[in-house]
Amino acid sequence: MREGRGTRDGGRWPALSGGPEARGPAQEAPRPGAPVWLWKSRPGGEGSAFADQAWKAQDSGPSSHPLPVPEQGGSLRGRGCCVAARPFSASVFLFQVGGLAGPESLRSMKLLCLVAVVGSLLVPPAQANKSSEDIRCKCICPPYRNISGHIYNQNVSQKDCNCLHVVEPMPVPGHDVEAYCLLCECKYEERSTTTIKVIIVIYLSVVGALLLYMAFLMLVDPLIRKPDAYTERLHDEEENEDARAVAAAAFSGPRANTVLERVEGAQQRWKLQVQEQRKTVFDRHKMLS
């Protein structure tokens, strides 16, 4: 039973739990705090096979730990960030323009930018090589005898993520290491700083762009645009159902040819549409209330 329990957890330090009957003697153990019960049978016992292996691993020399090489990793990461960031900002930009620009040519572009977004969001995790910043093995060791609790953090690979490799310097003398290590809980974790960085930057730039555009629409736009006939009418007849139709008619005139005019037209139509939505939601409370 003990063996089964012990090996089930694989990656972690051999599991610490015993059955209820195993726990009984532990409570009566003369040395409180020492997990003797698991180790009593060590000489010749099968219960510690796993631990034996771990010991061997440590014996083979701590100097041979495959520590990651920070220099190379760092430079690669930097490049990854660059590559990832560009398509991102480009596609966001397209998105912005997409809302306004003339439609004909933009449909394929729309598709393109969607693909670009998807692609670039997927790129960072793929490119994020395991630099020193991005992996950790964290061991939490509770207080043991007169040693206070401690948290250890090391950049080691997943297979080395156990108490023996991570807890350095070992606070207890050799014969107590096993007992101490049994109490520690080690967890291997990965993250991608590149992804985080890229996502935050993108998010902030989109918010920034939207705020700028909002400011433009609210402050600058009314100043540079002299009030047209139709907008006045629009304001007069806020509640009038015809307003939209009239305004739409005003725009369905001869189609503009230059890109700028087309953008302008599309923007106006978009504004009308949003205005309509706003009326539905905020004024008439027909939807979403």
Partner 1 sequence: MAMWQGAMDNRGFQQGSFNSFQSSSSDEDLMDIPGTAMDFSMRDDVPPLDGEIEEDKSYNGGGIGSSNRMMDFLEEPIPGVGTYDDFNTIDWVREKSRDRDRHREITNKSKESTWALIHSVSDAFSGWLLMLLIGLLSGSLAGLIDISAHWMTDLKEGICTGGIWFNHEHCCWNSQHVTFEDRDKCPEWNSWSQLIISTNEGAFAYIVNYFMYVLWALLFAFLAVSLVKVFAPYACGSGIPEIKTILSGFIIRGYLGKWTLIIKTITLVLAVSSGLSLGKEGPLVHVACCCGNILCHCFNKYRKNEAKRREVLSAAAAAGVSVAFGAPIGGVLFSLEEVSYYFPLKTLWRSFFAALVAAFTLRSINPFGNSRLVLFYVEFHTPWHLFELVPFILLGIFGGLWGALFIRTNIAWCRKRKTTQLGKYPVIEVLVVTAITAILAFPNEYTRMSTSELISELFNDCGLLDSSKLCDYENRFNTSKAGELPDRPAGVGVYSAMWQLALTLILKIVITIFTFGMKIPSGLFIPSMAVGAIAGRLLGVGMEQLAYYHHDWAIFNSWCSQGADCITPGLYAMVGAAACLGGVTRMTVSLVVIMFELTGGLEYIVPLMAAAMTSKWVADALGREGIYDAHIRLNGYPFLEAKEEFAHKTLAMDVMKPRRNDPLLTVLTQDSMTVEDVETIISETTYSGFPVVVSRESQRLVGFVLRRDLIISIENARKKQDGVVSTSVIYFTEHSPPMPPYTPPTLKLRNILDLSPFTVTDLTPMEIVVDIFRKLGLRQCLVTHNGHSTRFRGEAKSNETLLCPQEAYSVIGKLRTQQTGQMLRKRCAQNMLFPGGGHSYYWLVGSGKVFWKRDI
Kindly list the distances between the CA atom of residue 247 and the CA atoms of 182, 229, 255, in Å, as whole numbers in the listed order: 76, 10, 15
User: Which of 54/56 has CB closer to partner 1?
Assistant: 54
Distance in angstroms (rounded) separating the CA atoms of residues 156 and 75: 19
270 lies in the site for partner 1, by CB under 8 A:
yes
Q: How far is the CB of 69 from partner 1 (least distance, A)?
A: 17
76 lies in the site for partner 1, by CB under 8 A:
no
Distance of alpha carbon 75 from its chain centroid, rounded?
21
Kindly list the distances between the CA atom of residue 160 and the CA atoms of 32, 132, 142, 157, 166, in Å, as whole numbers in the listed order: 29, 15, 20, 5, 8
Element (H, E) at 89: helix 70-98
265 lies in the site for partner 1, by CB under 8 A:
yes
Distance in angstroms (rounded) separating the CA atoms of residues 76 and 129: 8
C-beta neighbour count of 131 within 10 angstroms = 22
Q: At what angle do helices 242-251 and 229-236 cross, to 10 degrees?
A: 170
189 lies in the site for partner 1, by CB under 8 A:
yes
50 lies in the site for partner 1, by CB under 8 A:
no
Name the one range near partner 1 by CB under 8 A: 41-49, 55-63, 191-199, 228-236.
191-199
Among 137, 141, 161, 181, binds partner 1 (CB under 8 A): 141
Among 60, 64, 258, 289, binds partner 1 (CB under 8 A): 289
277 lies in the site for partner 1, by CB under 8 A:
yes
Q: How far is the CB of 253 from partner 1 (least distance, A)?
A: 9
110 lies in the site for partner 1, by CB under 8 A:
yes
- x/- mask, partner 1, residues 144-163, rule CB under 8 A, reads ----xxxx-x-x--------
How many residues are there in the chain? 289
- x/- mask, partner 1, residues 23-42, rule CB under 8 A, reads x--xx-x--xxxx-------
Distance in angstroms (rounded) separating the CA atoms of residues 96 and 106: 12
107 lies in the site for partner 1, by CB under 8 A:
yes
User: Which of 20/173 has CB closer to partner 1?
Assistant: 20
12 lies in the site for partner 1, by CB under 8 A:
no
User: Which of 36/49 has CB closer to partner 1?
Assistant: 36
Residue 186 contacts residue 162 (beta carbons within 8 Å): yes
